[in-house]
Chain A
Amino acid sequence: MKNRAILSLLVVLAASLPLFMGPYFLSVFSTIFVFLSLSLSWDMMLRTGQLSFGTAGFFGLGAYASVLLVIKLGVNPIISILLGGVFSATLAFLLGFAILRLRAIYFSITTLALTSVFSVVIRNLPRLTGGASGAVLPRPIFGGDPQKIYWLLLLLTLVIIAISAFFRRSRIHYAINSIRNDEITARSSGIDVFKYLLFVFVVTSALQGVVGAFYAQQYAFVAPEATFSLNFLLLPIAMALVGGVYTTTGPIVGALLLGLISEYLKLIMPYGHLIVYGIMIVLVVLFMPQGICKPIIQLLRGKTKKGGVQSADLGN
């Protein structure tokens, strides 16, 4: 397959990046990978038709679980990253029984409120979590070696991309697609809507927890304000929208594009460079609900006919 050759070439290129790039660019790409992973996990939930605003919440839970496991119990940092994901998944499983019965704005708002609840609870348990000032690890993972951090993060990102691609190809894809398009029809075709929603919610929360745990281990600290920052929600959403939602390539392209643009803007505009994310969200929702990837691919393949891609529209 031609596609497979291009894909493996890209992976090799990404993996060899540390050999010819300095620590600054490595850290830029590491940050982009973090947001790329969050963006994909947010999109995987969106494919079921549920707009989750809880990304930052499960990210923060994983981060706290991992850091506290290392500080209090002396767990190995890499194992603690996985356990961070397990913690987020467990909480998502328990909460899922209640909140996955909600739809539309009620689901979105409840997930956003839960993020605040997590952060308030953590801030008010100073003995366990360090309270408002947060907790600091004695040293970052791998002693802060940017190359090793980059490789582990790349591995994590590739795993998440693989899971996302698997979701697009397996039976799950057809089930969640039909839930998004018309839940009543899906239900009457014998799809256990709640079971699928719970499954996707738990998997995506676990991924967000793992990414959060890694991020905390990389910077060796957690604090309620910084760890549950809405940036971990807004930026991934903007990235997925720009690249194109309901796909695996969309969030990847969006994350690389927006990540590099905002990194550049940060240099010339120290305050308010995130405005580019807001403008992108508004423009994409208004003019390009399918994101930038699909029109470009169609252009390259010479397909000029419009229509036939209705299911990819945001308006469902």
Chain B
Amino acid sequence: MQILSKKHYGYLLMVLVFAVIIGFWQPHALIYGIQRGSLYALIGLPLALVLGILGVLNLAHGEFLTVGLYLSYLLFHGMGLDPVLSFVPVTLFLFVLGGLSYLLTVKYVLKAGHLSQLLITFGIALILTELINSIWTTMSRSVFTTYSYSSTKIGNFRFGTYEFIYLLAAIVVLLGLQLFLKKTRLGQATFAVGQNPAGAQIVGINVGFVYLFVFSLATAILGIAAAIMAPRVAIFPGTGAPFTMKSFALAAMAGLGNLTGILLAGLALGIGEAVVNAIPGGGGWADIVFFGVLIIVILARSFRGAKQ
């Protein structure tokens, strides 16, 4: 199995050099950037998976994450379930919710062109946000656990340790997806569908089932992200929304079908964002890192495409 193919070495080296320079200059920004960046990558992976296999940009991606966060919150306050352990029920629930969303809506617009696909996922996003809004209002909720604020000290440099769980989860999910795509029959079928759906159909792959499974799986992965980030974020109806754009930024940067690239892009952008945050007076500009990179990458690709 190859997680890092040759094309990744260059990028990996770039990210490493970048990280080392930042590490000496702003160690806090490096730690924080790695943590945030892994979270972005963890959330970006399923979006890239759906975009790569189904060709659908799911604009309701962040809203599915929000649903997962609220579920984790409910399990914590209703049953006293530990938020990190709640990833099992949350993941199962989102797997089913993703499957239902696919069967009821996305399935019917797969051949209808990008316009219908964008609009329908936009509609789903709006329904989910407003549904949450009508049940729990816009009030901000939180899940508090003591361990999620634990920290450690190296020399006289103190930093939070809990959020390294994002890096662990991102790597586990990435390895799991690679193993699934290379080693299992369904995974190989998924790979084939992503490359050529018509050809896959001809050789007897149940393309409809692969689409259903991939969409459910992608939504389920968001359950893992939701459960582990629940103790560290303010939970309100709009929590997940910004992650849709950020995930797409990673997918655009890494290119289609490049899952390892998502992690590297996530780390690079996470560190970049943290550095801008660390510059005095730069805090407000940090949001622009993702959008700026997104616009530049898309434009660069389009101009390169136009010349060929």
Binds A, one of B9-17, B219-227, B283-291: B283-291
B269 to chain A, nearest CB (A): 13
Does chain A have a CB within 8 A of B21?
no
Number of interface residues of B (CB under 8 A): 46
| B residues less than 8 Å from A241 (CB atoms) | 119
**CB nearest to B120 among chain A residues:** A285
Q: Is the CB of A234 within 8 A of B115?
A: no
Q: Is the CB of B127 within 8 A of A279?
A: yes
- What number of A-B contacts does a CB cutoff of 8 Å give? 132
| B residues less than 8 Å from A238 (CB atoms) | 123
Does chain B have a CB within 8 A of A1?
no
Q: Is the CB of A282 within 8 A of B114?
A: no
B98-138 residues with Cβ-Cβ distance < 8 A to A are: 105, 108-109, 111-116, 118-120, 122-135, 137-138
Does chain B have a CB within 8 A of A257?
no
A117 to B285, CA, bound (A): 10
A residues near B (Cβ < 8 Å) are 46, 51, 98-99, 101-102, 104-106, 108-110, 112-114, 116-117, 120-121, 123-124, 132, 234, 237-238, 241, 269, 271-275, 277-282, 285-286, 289, 314-316
Q: Is the CB of B303 within 8 A of A101?
A: yes
| A residues less than 8 Å from B302 (CB atoms) | 101-102, 106
A106 to B292, CA, bound (A): 14
A132 to B127, CA, bound (A): 28
6 A-B residue pairings within 8 Å (CB atoms): A110-B295, A113-B291, A116-B287, A269-B134, A272-B132, A275-B133
| A residues less than 8 Å from B115 (CB atoms) | 46, 51, 314-316
Q: Is the CB of B127 within 8 A of A275?
A: yes
| B residues less than 8 Å from A271 (CB atoms) | 133-134, 137-138
Q: Is the CB of A102 within 8 A of B299?
A: yes
Q: Is the CB of A51 within 8 A of B295?
A: no
**CB nearest to A234 among chain B residues:** B126
Does chain A have a CB within 8 A of B263?
no
A121 to B284, CA, bound (A): 9
A114 to B296, CA, bound (A): 11
| A residues less than 8 Å from B294 (CB atoms) | 109-110, 113
Interface residues as binary, B138-160 with A (CB distance below 8 Å gives 1, 0 otherwise) = 10000000000000000000000
B246-301 residues with Cβ-Cβ distance < 8 A to A are: 248-249, 252, 284-285, 287-288, 291-292, 294-295, 298-299
A236 to B186, CA, bound (A): 42
Q: Is the CB of A275 within 8 A of B126?
A: yes
Residue of B128, B131, B291, B299 near A116 (CB, 8 A) is B291
A128 to chain B, nearest CB (A): 14
A271 to B288, CA, bound (A): 30
Does chain A have a CB within 8 A of B75?
no
Residue of A104, A272, A285 near B119 (CB, 8 A) is A285
A224 to chain B, nearest CB (A): 10
B25-65 residues with Cβ-Cβ distance < 8 A to A are: 57
A214 to B134, CA, bound (A): 31
A274-B126 in contact given A113-B245, A281-B119, A286-B105 (Cβ < 8 Å): yes
A124-B285 in contact given A102-B298, A271-B138, A274-B130 (Cβ < 8 Å): yes
Does chain A have a CB within 8 A of B1?
no
Q: Is the CB of B245 within 8 A of A116?
A: yes
A80 to chain B, nearest CB (A): 27
Q: Is the CB of A315 within 8 A of B130?
A: no
Q: Is the CB of A105 within 8 A of B114?
A: yes
Residue of B111, B112, B126 near A278 (CB, 8 A) is B126
Q: Is the CB of A117 within 8 A of B116?
A: no
Please give 9 more A-B residue pairs, beta carbons under 8 A apart, in addition to A121-B288, A285-B112.
Answer: A101-B306, A116-B287, A117-B295, A273-B130, A278-B130, A286-B109, A314-B116, A314-B119, A316-B113
A108 to B252, CA, bound (A): 13
A116 to B287, CA, bound (A): 9
A102 to B248, CA, bound (A): 16
| B residues less than 8 Å from A108 (CB atoms) | 114, 118
A170 to B226, CA, bound (A): 52
A238 to chain B, nearest CB (A): 8
Residue of B111, B113, B252, B284 near A124 (CB, 8 A) is B284
A102 to B126, CA, bound (A): 26
A281-B138 in contact given A104-B114, A120-B285 (Cβ < 8 Å): no
**CB nearest to A313 among chain B residues:** B112
A278-B116 in contact given A102-B299, A286-B105 (Cβ < 8 Å): no
Q: Is the CB of B134 within 8 A of A272?
A: yes
**CB nearest to A316 among chain B residues:** B113
Q: Is the CB of A120 within 8 A of B288?
A: yes
